[in-house]
């Protein structure tokens, strides 16, 4: 396959050249941005890369499908992997990003036995539905922060709870990296972009629109004067259930800093949901600001 027309980003697969590239950039006084991904890149990921490219002198994108954040029976085996397509997608944003794509053996060599235990913000919602998930996330992100000691790391709002877990870890473990949240990118029909959307058939994709529609409904109810979270939650669940054969893992109205349930809606509240549509488990969220 010829790439003469498009120059692909430089790919590094081992730790030493990666560290050296960062050291050299530091020596030249360049700022470094990091975008950790599991590959299967879409416009949402590319918007994070764009944010990093616009704010930092050097951007490193990591591509690693992390086995420790998948539970038993989850989709680790069939999670989409296409490094070639990911590199081509990154080339459309910037040719001088560095891509770090380590092997599982490099990240978890034989005998590997340490992990990060995460606290209160990791327990509700995703923490309840996917036990051990955030330990896997925090552990791999800490390892990436060591291998690619950047100035700023960019994460998407769609994974809001993940972002809070990482911010907590960065603060608690004195990691000198700023964590920046970038807005969720959506398709024209409102569906939040996700690598798992490719599991959906066309009818399932229509059902998946109930997630963003329920977030919109919640915002409209609050704008119209509704302040009782129980009423808003009930209406959100009804709208999702009308989509047909879908399974709700949770629908929540939570404090944006602690993710604890709210008893009233007179200040900004985060609506979060996780719904199984066909073979895909989809998450979404939105901030609701009372007028």
Residue 207 shares a structural domain with residue 255: yes
Q: Look at residue 95 in the predicted model and tell me its pLDDT.
A: 85
- Domain assignment of residue 201, given as a range: 195-285
| The domain boundary residue, chosen from 128, 157, 182 | 182
Residue 118 shares a structural domain with residue 89: yes
Q: Between vectors from CA 68 to CA 32 and to CA 137, what angle results, nearest 5°?
A: 40
Does 2 reside within a domain? no
Residues 6+ apart with CB under 8 A from 30: 56, 57, 58
Please tell me what DSSP assigns to residue 186: B
2 falls in which pLDDT band (50, 70, 90)?
very low
Residue 154 shares a structural domain with residue 259: no
- Span 30-48, mean pLDDT? 98
Residue 157 shares a structural domain with residue 262: no
Residue 163 shares a structural domain with residue 267: no
| The domain boundary residue, chosen from 127, 148, 182 | 182
Q: Which residues are catalytic?
A: 45
Q: Which residue has the tokens 């050291």?
A: 23
Does 1 reside within a domain? no
Neighbours of 242 (CB within 10 A): 12
Does 247 reside within a domain? yes
- Span 157-185, mean pLDDT? 98
5 falls in which pLDDT band (50, 70, 90)?
low
Q: Which of 106, 65, 4, 54 is nearest to 196 (CA)?
A: 65
CA separation for the pair 128, 125 (Å, rounded): 5
**CATH code at position 63:** 3.40.50.620
Q: Are 214 and 252 in contact (CB under 8 A)?
A: no
Q: Are 161 and 208 in contact (CB under 8 A)?
A: no
Does 220 reside within a domain? yes
Residue 135 shares a structural domain with residue 207: no
Please say if the pLDDT value at position 1 is more than 80: no
pTM of the model: 0.96
Residue 85 shares a structural domain with residue 199: no
Q: Between vectors from CA 218 to CA 194 and to CA 222, what angle results, nearest 5°?
A: 145
CA separation for the pair 7, 24 (Å, rounded): 22
Please say if the pLDDT value at position 161 is more than 60: yes
Does 4 reside within a domain? no
**CATH code at position 232:** 3.30.1300.10
Strand-pair partners of 98: 10, 60
Q: Are 34 and 122 in contact (CB under 8 A)?
A: no
Q: Look at residue 102 in the predicted model and tell me its pLDDT.
A: 98
Does 86 reside within a domain? yes
Does 202 reside within a domain? yes
Residue 176 shares a structural domain with residue 246: no
Interval 192-249: pLDDT, tens: 999 999 999 999 999 999 999 999 999 999 999 999 999 999 999 999 999 999 999 9
3-state SS class at 285: strand
Residue 136 shares a structural domain with residue 164: yes
Q: What would the DSSP string read from start to end of 237-266?
A: HHHHHTTSSEEEEEEEEE-TTT-PBPS--S
3-state SS class at 190: coil
Give the strand pairing for 98-100 and 246-254.
Answer: unpaired
Residue 214 shares a structural domain with residue 109: no
What is the count of structural domains for the chain? 2
Residue 74 shares a structural domain with residue 16: yes
Residue 168 shares a structural domain with residue 251: no
- Span 267-277, mean pLDDT? 98
Q: Considering Cα of 262, then 264, then 268, then 274, what sign does the dihedral take?
A: positive
Task: Report the half-sphere exposure of 242 (CA within 13 A, side-chain side).
Answer: 11
Does 113 reside within a domain? yes
Q: Are 57 and 31 in contact (CB under 8 A)?
A: yes
| The domain boundary residue, chosen from 182, 213, 232 | 182
E strand or H helix at 212, and its extent?
Answer: helix 202-223
């Amino acid at each position: 396959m010829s790439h003469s027309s498009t120059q692909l980003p430089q790919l590094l697969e081992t730790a030493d050249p990666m560290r050296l590239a960062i050291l050299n950039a530091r020596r030249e006084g360049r700022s470094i941005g990091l975008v950790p991904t599991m590959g299967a890149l879409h416009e949402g990921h590319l918007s994070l890369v764009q944010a990093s490219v616009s704010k930092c002198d050097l951007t490193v994108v990591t591509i690693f499908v992390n086995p420790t954040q998948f539970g038993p029976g989850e989709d680790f085996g069939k999670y989409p992997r296409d490094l070639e397509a990911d590199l081509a997608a990154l080339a459309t944003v910037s040719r001088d990003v560095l891509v770090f794509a380590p092997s599982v053996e490099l990240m978890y060599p034989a005998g590997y036995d340490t992990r990060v235990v995460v606290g209160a913000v990791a327990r509700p919602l995703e923490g309840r539905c996917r036990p051990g998930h955030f330990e896997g996330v925090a552990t791999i992100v800490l390892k990436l922060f060591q291998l690619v000691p950047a100035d700023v790391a960019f994460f998407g709002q769609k994974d809001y709870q993940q972002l809070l877990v990482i911010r907590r870890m960065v603060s608690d473990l004195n990691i000198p990296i700023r964590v920046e949240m970038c807005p969720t990118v959506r398709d024209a029909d409102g569906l939040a972009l996700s690598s798992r959307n490719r599991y959906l058939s066309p009818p399932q994709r229509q059902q998946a629109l109930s997630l963003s529609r329920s977030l919109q409904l919640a915002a409209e109810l609050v704008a119209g004067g509704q302040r009782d979270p129980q009423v808003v939650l009930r209406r959100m669940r009804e709208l999702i259930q009308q989509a047909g054969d879908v399974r709700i893992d949770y629908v929540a109205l939570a404090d944006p800093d602690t993710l604890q349930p709210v008893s009233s809606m007179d200040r900004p509240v985060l609506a979060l949901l996780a719904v199984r549509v066909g073979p895909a488990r989809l998450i979404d969220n939105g901030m609701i600001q009372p007028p």
